Amino acid sequence: MIADSYSGFLPRMFEWVQNTLEAHKHDRRSVESFGFRRLPVYFTKTLLAETSVVIVDRPPFPPVSAWGLSEFATFEAHPAGAITFLDTYFITPRAAANESVHFHELIHVIQWQELGFTDFMMLYVAGILEHGYLDAPLEKMAYEHERRFELGGMEYAVAEAVRREATALLRA
């Protein structure tokens, strides 16, 4: 598997994520504090209360090029509106007002919960390398659920669906 050759960067990535979360611990607020009307219909109160959001001008991205992973240089340089690490996502002020962006990032939080650090990172890396960003399985899953949310269709058990889909990716 492609991602296997990238497993050596996991300890450095784990340390970077922990340091980044620690550096922003006083800037965190709960998703629940945004008072979005529709998110509580799709996600549990616990998830919305325990997931943290940090509003930043530019979401942090690990310095993977400096770590020798130059194949991610363009991805690293691309300014994202939001990025999720574990139970926290970083979001720009503009994106912070968009309930759909929060929905998308909550999908990633559930993926992190279900897969854990190592499996999430390995699936994410492999997905980007094999399919590109938009078609990477974890991103594709988040965008598909986000589209369903935006269409305003029938309410469904989002977390259960994401957990099932994420687990299936591990078996594929």
Domain boundaries, the chain: 11-171
In 3-81, the DSSP E strands lie at: 29-30, 52-55
What Cα–Cα distance (Å) separates residue 23 from each residue in 4, 20, 29, 73? 30, 5, 14, 24
User: What's the rounded Cα separation, in Å, for the pair 43 and 130?
Assistant: 31
Q: Tokens 């949310």, residue?
A: 149
pLDDT, one tens digit per residue, over 62-102 is 988 888 887 877 777 777 899 999 999 999 999 999 999 99
pLDDT, one tens digit per residue, over 120-165 is 999 998 898 889 888 999 999 999 999 999 998 778 899 999 999 9
Burial class (CB in 10 A: 0-12, 13-18, 19+), 171: exposed
Q: What pLDDT is attached to residue 141?
A: 97
Give the chain's radius of gyration (CA, Å): 16
What predicted TM-score, i.e. pTM, was given to this entire model? 0.94
Give the 3-state secondary structure of residue 55: strand
What one-character DSSP code corresponds to residue 28?
-
Q: Give the pairing type, strands 88-91 and 52-55.
A: parallel
**Are the C-beta atoms of 51 and 31 separated by less than 8 Å?**
yes
Which of 154 and 24 is assigned the larger pLDDT? 24
Q: What pLDDT is attached to residue 150?
A: 94
pLDDT-based confidence at 4, cuts 50/70/90?
Answer: low
Q: What pLDDT is attached to residue 86?
A: 98
